Amino acid sequence: MNRLLVFPLVFLVVLSAFGQKRHLQNALDRAETEGFSGVILLAENGKVLFEKAMGMRNFEEGIPLQPNDVFEMASVSKQFTAMMIMMCKEKGLLDFDDPIEKYIRVPYPNITIRHLLTHTSGLPDYQAIMDEHWDKSKAAGNPEILEYLRRYAPPKLFEPGDNYEYSNTGYVILASIVEEVTDRDFVELSKEWIFDPVGMENTAIRSLEKKAQVPNFAVGYLKDENGNYVNANRFRSSDYTLWLGKRKGPGRVSSTAEDLLKWDQALYTEKLVSNETLEQAFSPFELNDGAKSTYGFGWDLDPNSPYGKMVMHTGDNPGYKTIIVRFIEENKTIILLNNNYHPDQMRLVEAATLALGKW
């Protein structure tokens, strides 16, 4: 290459990187101006490149968010449930292709553990059945959910393996299978097997009472009819978090951005499971017709990522939006936790992805 061209090319690369970072900062400034409340973290090789907290931990009391505040993870929890199943498999307690009736009695034959992990089981939505029939003055857990599935037996959506359809029911059953094969409580075992070994000191599956005892727990907020942010628990649509408050598997993990980065980095090691087992979590499921879904074991897969193999998961609970994005080949990570259900979440993720690609 002509040496006279080297400096202009280097300058253009630096300028492009600066431009993408400036684009991210502009997106964050705009989101903050428009009321976004949350924490964003960007990392490479486990090193934090950028971290920022915006908005309020508690709007009523005017307490600003801090980077290490605790958020409800919602469905980001599913990757931990999937890991518990993978650890059970490596301990010889189960196999991925075992039929679920080997462990749990439900009126749906020919479903395997792998179908549950990949959302290809065809199971109906447990929440609809519980909403119709459950006494909402009481909190239901997995035993009650399974009992109602047996009692009312709503029809399956499709034959196992025919399609992909996201299923919270499947992840309730997965947690129950863990309890069945270990004879241990799923909440305690998750702490013993995952959170403690990884060093996730601020992470747990917490009851409402336990959450209230965490001083830096970020309260979830929604807008009322006047456009003011109020505690999400005041909305009738949020009531299911109370009367389904004991469920295990599909949600209920609460954590911080920095703890999620520890989890992310543990997945580059064999601290929890072997690379061979973990690779199955990041691989698509082949449907009965030969087509491949874009979901592994607790992870969404993006085969068209511009930065190599990418896995991710979102979470959605009253007042909360969460997401973790992992560019596995480059060991780059985006974590975004939001506690006022703001519409800017994905725009911030896109800006962060562009900036991370140029960092």
- Number of neighbours of residue 282 by Cβ within 10 angstroms: 17
Q: How far apart are CA 281 and CA 25, in angstroms?
A: 33
- Whether residue 169 lies inside any domain: the answer is yes
Q: What pLDDT digit, counting tens, does each position of 189-244 carry?
A: 999 999 999 999 999 999 989 999 999 999 999 999 888 899 888 888 788 888 99
SS (H, E, C) 244-255: CCECCCCCCEEE
Residue 26's contacts (CB-CB under 8 Å, 6 or more residues apart) are 351
- Whether residue 113 lies inside any domain: the answer is yes
E strand map for 45-103: 47-54, 56-58, 63-64, 71-72
Residue 124's contacts (CB-CB under 8 Å, 6 or more residues apart) are 149, 154, 155, 156, 157, 169
Residue 188's contacts (CB-CB under 8 Å, 6 or more residues apart) are none
- The pLDDT value recorded for residue 308 is 86
Range of the domain at 250: 37-341
- Whether residue 61 lies inside any domain: the answer is yes
- Whether residue 12 lies inside any domain: the answer is no
pTM for this predicted structure = 0.92
From residue 140, alpha-carbon distances to 78, 134, 136, 146, 232 in Å are 19, 8, 8, 10, 20
- Whether residue 3 lies inside any domain: the answer is no
User: Helix (H) and strand (E) counts for the chain?
Assistant: 13, 13
Q: At 19, list the tokens.
A: 């431009």
- Whether residue 355 lies inside any domain: the answer is no
Q: How far apart are CA 288 and CA 121, in angstroms?
A: 12
Q: At 124, list the tokens.
A: 């109906």
- The pLDDT value recorded for residue 23 is 81
Which of the following is catalytic: 75, 167, 255, 293?
75
Low-confidence residues in the chain, pLDDT < 70: 1-20
Domain count, the chain: 1
Q: 56-59 — which CB contacts under 8 Å span 24+ positions? A: 56/340, 57/216, 57/217, 57/218, 57/219, 57/339, 58/219, 59/219, 59/221, 59/229, 59/230, 59/340
From residue 121, alpha-carbon distances to 100, 114, 190, 223 in Å are 10, 9, 24, 36
- Whether residue 49 lies inside any domain: the answer is yes
Q: How far apart are CA 6 and CA 218, in angstroms?
A: 49
- Whether residue 352 lies inside any domain: the answer is no
- The pLDDT value recorded for residue 304 is 77
- The pLDDT value recorded for residue 19 is 62
CATH of the domain at 223: 3.40.710.10
User: Is residue 75 annotated as part of the catalytic site, yes or no?
Assistant: yes
